[in-house]
């Protein structure tokens, strides 16, 4: 009798199935709990005559193992199915957004300035940042004792105290590129020279030990101060808008004569006077002048035939004016919150 019950239960257990964890738990309770069907047979075992106990005992243990294995294997299959479902890949989902960098504001403004001059025929010229004295100073009419050669302004890479002409420096203006072009070619010359320049200054909100310039040079027959003025008016109006006015104030540079500094009408108040322009209605933006005939001669260009003008703009200065950046140091700190503000500007 007991034997038959064992066999019947065995057959049942072998065909067990469960679809979810609740069904599986119900099966475990039905067969393996203290009041379950397998345990019930163990209770009956008490009544088995001693001579059969060994055989029945073995069979009952086999049944229990069978039931335990079956339920464990169902649980495993069931779990791996669930895991499969959760790791299911959805290839149609949109990908995570890519973070795209932004153009640096100085590069944006540099490009705007280059574009303005390219449209009227200026081409780009380039030169080294580590320069010799000839290109930075001597060929540009700086006297041997000119204060700009002094340690306060210039970074010396190699200094020769006995002969300043042998000095190697970090260029303090991109006029060095103009002298390179004048020394190696003949007019007509119409170039702009964008680049980084270095000056030995304490780093503050208003000054840095390096900044960026774009200098322009035009040399041909009959180039006049009126040509310079008209070109600068065109530049200012393209950059700050068609209502912009300019004014020139006399100034001094060793390589230009006459020399001037140019102001534009204040872009905030339109010339009325406000705190930004210190109530003058004007803000200074560049230095310029007619190329000194000495410079032409020093660079191998015949000053009796040719005249020319030159100008130099600071890229940081223009960027500050256009986008109201108050602290120069922001440009080189790589704070992405600052850089992202220029995302929409190209
Ligand atoms: N080189 C001058 C500077 O660095 C700018 C300038 C260029 C002035 C050309 C006049 C003509 O300040």
Each residue's pLDDT tens digit, 182-231: 999 999 999 999 999 999 988 998 889 999 999 999 999 999 999 999 99
Same domain, 127 and 45: no
Q: Is residue 74 in some structural domain?
A: yes
Q: Is residue 252 in some structural domain?
A: yes
Helix (H) or strand (E) holding 85: helix 50-86
Question: What CATH number did the domain enclosing 208 receive?
Answer: 3.30.930.10
Tell me, in angstroms, the distance from the centre of ligand 1 to residue 312's CA. Answer: 4
Helix (H) or strand (E) holding 296: helix 293-298
pLDDT of residue 145: 85
Total number of domains in the chain: 2
The residues, ordered by sequence, that sit 6+ positions from 210 with a Cβ below 8 Å of its Cβ are 196, 197, 198, 199, 332
Nearest protein CA to atom 7 of ligand 1, as residue: 312
Domain that holds residue 81: 2-86
Same domain, 53 and 137: no
pLDDT of residue 8: 87
Same domain, 19 and 145: no
Q: What are phi and psi of 170, to 5 degrees?
A: -80, 125
pLDDT of residue 175: 95
Nearest protein CA to atom 9 of ligand 1, as residue: 311
pLDDT of residue 115: 97
The residues, ordered by sequence, that sit 6+ positions from 308 with a Cβ below 8 Å of its Cβ are 187, 189, 217, 218, 219, 220, 223, 290, 291, 296
Q: Is residue 225 in some structural domain?
A: yes
Q: Is residue 92 in some structural domain?
A: no
Same domain, 16 and 118: no
Same domain, 55 and 176: no
Tell me, in angstroms, the distance from the centre of ligand 1 to residue 249's CA. Answer: 14
Q: Is residue 243 in some structural domain?
A: yes
Same domain, 73 and 158: no
pLDDT beneath 70: ranges in the chain? 81-87, 151-152, 346
Q: Is residue 94 in some structural domain?
A: no
Same domain, 49 and 143: no
Same domain, 78 and 120: no
pLDDT of residue 84: 65
Dist CA 275 CA 3 (whole Å) = 106
For residue 173, give the ligand 1 atom closest to its CA.
4
Tokens standing for 104? Answer: 């640096």
Q: Is residue 112 in some structural domain?
A: yes
pLDDT of residue 238: 96
pLDDT of residue 139: 94
Q: Is residue 295 in some structural domain?
A: yes
136, 172, 287, 290: which to mutate for ligand 1, most atoms within 8 A of CB? Answer: 287
Tell me, in angstroms, the distance from the centre of ligand 1 to residue 210's CA. Answer: 15
Helix (H) or strand (E) holding 249: strand 246-253
**CA dihedral angle for residue 154, residue 159, residue 162, residue 163, rounded to 10 degrees:** -70
pLDDT of residue 315: 95
pLDDT of residue 243: 94
Same domain, 137 and 177: yes
Same domain, 247 and 294: yes
pLDDT of 22-66, one tens digit each?
888 888 898 888 888 888 888 888 888 888 888 888 888 888 898
For residue 174, give the ligand 1 atom closest to its CA.
1
pLDDT of residue 86: 65
Same domain, 34 and 78: yes
pLDDT of residue 151: 65
Same domain, 32 and 148: no
215, 286, 309: which to mutate for ligand 1, most atoms within 8 A of CB? Answer: 215
Nearest protein CA to atom 2 of ligand 1, as residue: 312
Tell me, in angstroms, the distance from the centre of ligand 1 to residue 311's CA. Answer: 6
pLDDT of residue 163: 84
Tokens standing for 91? Answer: 């290839």
- Ligand 1, pocket residues at CB < 6 Å: 173, 175, 215, 253, 256, 287-289, 310-312
Beta partners for 131?
A: 169
């Amino acid at each position: 009798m007991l034997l038959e019950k064992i066999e019947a239960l065995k057959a049942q257990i072998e065909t067990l199935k469960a679809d979810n964890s609740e069904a599986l738990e119900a099966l475990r309770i039905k067969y393996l709990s203290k009041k379950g069907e397998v345990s019930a047979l163990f209770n009956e075992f008490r009544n088995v005559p001693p001579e059969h106990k060994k055989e029945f005992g073995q069979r009952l243990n086999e049944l229990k193992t069978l039931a335990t294995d079956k339920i464990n294997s169902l649980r495993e299959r069931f779990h791996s199915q669930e895991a499969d479902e959760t790791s299911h890949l959805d290839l149609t989902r949109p990908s995570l957004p890519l973070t795209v960098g932004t153009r640096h504001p100085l590069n944006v403004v540099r490009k705007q300035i280059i574009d303005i001059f390219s449209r009227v025929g200026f081409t780009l010229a380039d030169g080294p940042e580590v320069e010799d004295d000839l290109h930075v100073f001597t060929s540009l009419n700086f006297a041997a004792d000119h204060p700009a050669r002094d340690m306060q302004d210039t970074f010396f890479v190699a200094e020769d105290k006995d002969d300043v002409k042998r000095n190697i420096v970090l260029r303090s203006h991109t006029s060095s590129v103009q002298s390179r072009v004048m020394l190696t070619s003949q007019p007509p010359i119409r170039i702009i020279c964008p680049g980084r320049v270095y000056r030995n200054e304490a780093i503050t909100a208003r000054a840095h030990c390096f900044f960026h310039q774009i200098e322009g040079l035009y040399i041909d027959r009959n180039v006049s101060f009126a040509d310079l003025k008209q070109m600068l008016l065109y530049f200012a109006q393209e950059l700050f808008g068609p209502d912009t006015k300019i004014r020139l104030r006399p100034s001094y540079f060793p390589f230009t004569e006459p020399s001037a500094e140019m102001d534009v009408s204040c872009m905030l108040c339109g010339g009325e006077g406000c705190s930004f322009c210190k109530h003058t209605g004007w803000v200074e933006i560049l230095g310029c002048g007619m190329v000194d005939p000495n410079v032409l001669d020093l660079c191998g260009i015949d000053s009796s035939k040719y005249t020319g003008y030159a100008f130099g703009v600071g890229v940081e200065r223009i960027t500050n004016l256009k986008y109201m950046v108050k602290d120069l140091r922001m440009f080189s700190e790589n704070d992405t919150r600052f850089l992202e503000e220029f995302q929409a500007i190209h």
